Structure 1
Amino acid sequence: GERVTKNNLQIVVRRHAYINRPHISDLDEVDKVSNVSEKRRDWGNAINTSIFYGRTEELATVKNWVITDRCRLLGVFGIGGIGKTAFANKLAEQVQAEFTLFAWKSLRYAPTVETMLSELVSFLTNQAITALPSDFDRLLAMLIQVLKQSRCLIVFDNVESILRSGETTGHYIEGYEGYGQLFRQISEEHHQSCLILTSREKPSDVLPPESSDRMVRSLQLSGLNVEEARHLLNKELAFTPEISKLIDLYCGNPLALKFVSILISHRFNGNIQAFLDQEMNVFEDIRELIDQQYSRLSDLEQQVMYWLAIVREPITIDNLRQNIVHIVSKSQILESVISLRWRSLIEKNANSFTQQFIVMKYMTNRLIDMAFKSTIEHNPEFLMSYALVENRAEDYIRETQIRHILQPLTKRLVAHYGTVETLHRELHSLLDRLHDRQTSIGYAQANIINLLKSSQEDLAIDDDHL
């Protein structure tokens, strides 16, 4: 009765073959499994966590899941830079004594499931890869047998590398669906081992945190608190009066704080307030980090991200739907919002959703970049889809949108065209093109009028200075 599509054909065939396979004890491979009672460790390319601060409560919770509850599958999720790899590494260090075998595997370069299983089974059974079967089903059967015979701890790092981009999160790249069967098998079969996954995105096979299944657990890793984050910063910054504001601004993201502390020390002589007053753009290292996640979003997820940056405060799904130009259903918006939460790109606040500062800053910069490109190329599609300033918003929201979106875009356009007069000429030309269109123009006309007003105000300010 299972529905078969071109995307899941391979995995369905594999699953039914596995169900109808001979019992594990009848397989030749069982005889090949060596004595695995001797403790062995393969840390692979795991990072050094000798310097590690905070996460005391999270570690205590997860250690209880692994040791006391004996969970079989544990997912550690969070935005880039939040410390998922370091957390999994520290957890493994603290619980490894409970396990006979330990293996750390990185999926960063998306190895095939057969390659990963061959390497893993080779280590766990202490056999050469050449002595192992090459097909997925027999390798998976051998792995499950080892997980039953011995208490094994396995970490798969960077699981997002095997998930598809361009759509809502959780689906595997074509040809990598076997990982889904691997995760399901480990979570469902009775054994004494544990597989830990770290990922920026949640695979569809891992249950949400509120699930009551004690065998499959998920931890959404958030930022460090002020006291924990202090230890990551340069000593001259750690106890300055403005440090709490800086840490809150970057939501305790360890990697972001590391980058920003270096920047403040080198370019602002350790003056945090001077850095905050500059309202600097998201610097390159962090931008690249979020770029990687943004590039994986579906079209609707990208639209939601832009609107959250425009609105700049928590917004409900109904209001999000009203803002989006193209007709979308409430269920489509909800699906995208859930997916973005599991990508750790947005946060829930009661019945509303918003972005962390660092993500909102990134999306604001991206919004300005796209609006600039749309304007100078006389291609109004982007300007039609998003409001630079919401004319019906509360005054304080409009003022924030003008300050963070409209004014920076206006200054960039004036710099591009050389004079305000030239900019006005180009904007009026774009307006004329809109009037010739037979279809809806969305927010484009209001955006152009706001740019005309904003550039005129900048010209008046410049005249006053003169």
Structure 2
Amino acid sequence: MTITEVLQFADRLVFTHRGKHLDDIQETVIKGVWQGKTYENIAEECNRSESRIRDVGYQLWKTFSESLGEDIYKSNFRSTIERLHIQEKSSISSIYRTNRSNCNFNFGSQTLYQYQKYPQDSQIEDTAKTTYQDLSIAPTINHTYFYGRTQELEILSDYILPQKTRLMSVLGLSGIGKTTLVKRFIDLNIQKFDVVIWRNLKLVKSLNYLMTDLLKKISIENENLLISDEQFTHFFELLSRQKCLIILDDVQNIFISGKFAGQYQTQHTEYQNLFQAIAQTEHQSCLILISQEKAQEMTALDRELYPIKSLELEGLDNSAGLEIIQEYKLQDREYWLNLNNMYLGNPLYLQYISTLIKDIFQDLVSQFIAEGNLIITEEMKLIFDTLYQRMSDVEKQIVLKISKCDENVSIEDLKISCSLSSIDIINGLQSLKRRYLLNQIKTNNTLFRLPSLFKEYIKNFQMPK
């Protein structure tokens, strides 16, 4: 196929699905991907940010997927289009489409393609497939203000849809965008599931309460289902019979405060059994855990045997961080990048500090930077207070020692300066990493440091006077 034929075909798909023809950036992305280029290369060629190119690509693959009735990604775009072209040349003129109408397209001067749904194919899903959804406590995301995270959306989609991951964790610091990312994924893919339910463990209920609740919601065709000692059996029968997406937010609330990360409270150890069973039992559904701490299952289970995945979120890239600052209409654009780096690309921190700059510094980022200090707003302090209170005594000793050092520290440094055993230091460092409160620097001698904001918090609010 020539690139002209590909662009003509793509333009017809986009126009039929969106009512608009391809624009210049979309054409550039299609050409680049067809030629095997990376998003970074494409961004350089058209003088756009990489995050912008990723976003354009993501929307294109979503449109193609919905139009063709199969999952299209950057990685399989060319091979899929070439396969369809070969099918057409072999007189297989009918291929899948996800709506019930028939539309005609052609590859440039090639012969006619007719899109229709094969009714006998159970794997091709109607766009209105979802039979039940309960998102009453899920956040409402204004897509206009969804910054960056295109790559993370692609990863999440790839893990859950084609790879059929059964247990998925989305992890990271408070405010980093975990909940927003998962909700955006749902908004884009809700039609691909029979059942979608969102629950929050902020006010933790017993597992029995949660299971009873979920069974009543999922078992739509049998509203009189009796909850018995065989809840798990009923539950997994439903997960096998229907394609369910269940989200549990704020999972860290079932872990013990004051101990190493990811240890279950005594009254909530049955959640661990549920998570393990979700990963180890054959079914077609997915459970997403959103947490500030990594659950033990995400490291203890054999990933070669069980379909489990973790997505650990870091700060936004520069272009996405600058978009947040721009929304607040702050001045002194030449200082924006510095501001984004100071606050670690954390969307929530950037919102807090941008509000402070508007309130106190008359929108002038330069005046704020001139203060010369990292300022911890009251809202940030409350977040860090919660994180600090959840830490074990061993972790607190470690962060207090690291915060006193201007240089990165090694395990040997901590052995010398802390009155802790070697095993306590090693376990404490691992737990801090599982809370996303420790950066590891890979050199000949492994070194550690605290994120700059958290270090500033420790020095100002937790250091003995």
One of 65, 75, 85 as aligned partner of 2:159: 65
Report the structure number with the largest CA radius of gyration: 1
CA drift of 1:311 comes to: 1.1
Residues paired across the two proteins, number: 330
Give the corresponding residue for 2:43.
none
d(CA) in 1 for partners of 2:283, 2:360 = 55
Task: Check the 8 A contact 1:209/1:217 in 2, yes or no.
Answer: no
The DSSP-based 3-state class of the residue aligned with 2:198 is strand
Give the corresponding residue for 1:267.
360
The DSSP-based 3-state class of the residue aligned with 1:82 is coil
CA drift of 1:73 comes to: 0.4
Give the corresponding residue for 1:348.
440
CA drift of 1:58 comes to: 1.0
Task: Check the 8 A contact 1:312/1:354 in 2, yes or no.
Answer: no
Higher helix share: 1
State the Cα deviation string for residues 332-375 of structure 1 (Å, max 9, x = none).
2111111111111111111211111211111111244xx22xxx
Task: Check the 8 A contact 2:280/2:306 in 1, yes or no.
Answer: no
d(CA) in 2 for partners of 1:262, 1:171 = 36
Does 2:411 align with 1:317?
A: yes
d(CA) in 1 for partners of 2:390, 2:299 = 21
Does 2:457 align with 1:362?
A: yes
**Structure 2 matches for 1:34-45, cutoff 5 A?**
39-45=131-137
The DSSP-based 3-state class of the residue aligned with 2:237 is helix
d(CA) in 2 for partners of 1:284, 1:127 = 49
Task: Check the 8 A contact 1:207/1:217 in 2, yes or no.
Answer: no
Q: Structure 1 residues 212 and 56, CA, compared in 2 at 3 Å: closer, same or farther?
A: farther
d(CA) in 1 for partners of 2:395, 2:244 = 38
State the Cα deviation string for residues 303-338 of structure 1 (Å, max 9, x = none).
1111221113321112112111x2x23222111111
Where do 5+ consecutive residues of structure 2 fail to align? 1-128
d(CA) in 2 for partners of 1:68, 1:178 = 30
Where do 5+ consecutive residues of structure 1 fail to align? 1-36, 373-466
Give the corresponding residue for 2:139.
47
d(CA) in 2 for partners of 1:318, 1:112 = 43
Task: Check the 8 A contact 1:76/1:219 in 2, yes or no.
Answer: yes
One of 343, 349, 364 as aligned partner of 1:256: 349
Task: Check the 8 A contact 2:403/2:450 in 1, yes or no.
Answer: yes
Does 2:309 align with 1:206?
A: no
d(CA) in 1 for partners of 2:281, 2:332 = 51
**Structure 2 matches for 1:148-187, cutoff 5 A?**
148-187=240-279
d(CA) in 1 for partners of 2:178, 2:305 = 22
Q: Structure 1 residues 84 and 230, CA, compared in 2 at 3 Å: closer, same or farther?
A: same
Give the corresponding residue for 1:56.
150
Give the corresponding residue for 1:223.
315
Does 2:335 align with 1:242?
A: yes
CA drift of 1:262 comes to: 0.4
The DSSP-based 3-state class of the residue aligned with 1:46 is coil
Task: Check the 8 A contact 2:332/2:365 in 1, yes or no.
Answer: no
CA drift of 1:127 comes to: 7.3
State the Cα deviation string for residues 15-45 of structure 1 (Å, max 9, x = none).
xxxxxxxxxxxxxxxxxxxxxx862111131
Amino acid aligned to 1:363: I
CA drift of 1:118 comes to: 1.0
One of 161, 177, 189 as aligned partner of 1:83: 177
Q: Structure 1 residues 169 and 127, CA, compared in 2 at 3 Å: closer, same or farther?
A: farther
Task: Check the 8 A contact 2:242/2:284 in 1, yes or no.
Answer: yes
Does 2:191 align with 1:191?
A: no
Q: Structure 1 residues 152 and 56, CA, compared in 2 at 3 Å: closer, same or farther?
A: same
One of 427, 440, 444 as aligned partner of 1:335: 427
State the Cα deviation string for residues 137-177 of structure 1 (Å, max 9, x = none).
x2222111111111111100000011111111111111101
Q: Which of 109-118 and 279-288 deviates more?
A: 279-288
Q: What is the percent sequence identity of the aligned residues?
A: 27
Does 2:386 align with 1:292?
A: yes
Give the corresponding residue for 2:219.
125
Task: Check the 8 A contact 1:119/1:129 in 2, yes or no.
Answer: no
Does 2:168 align with 1:74?
A: yes
**Structure 2 matches for 1:378-457, cutoff 5 A?**
none
d(CA) in 1 for partners of 2:410, 2:302 = 21
The DSSP-based 3-state class of the residue aligned with 1:180 is helix
Amino acid aligned to 1:83: G
Amino acid aligned to 1:250: Y
Q: Structure 1 residues 252 and 209, CA, compared in 2 at 3 Å: closer, same or farther?
A: farther
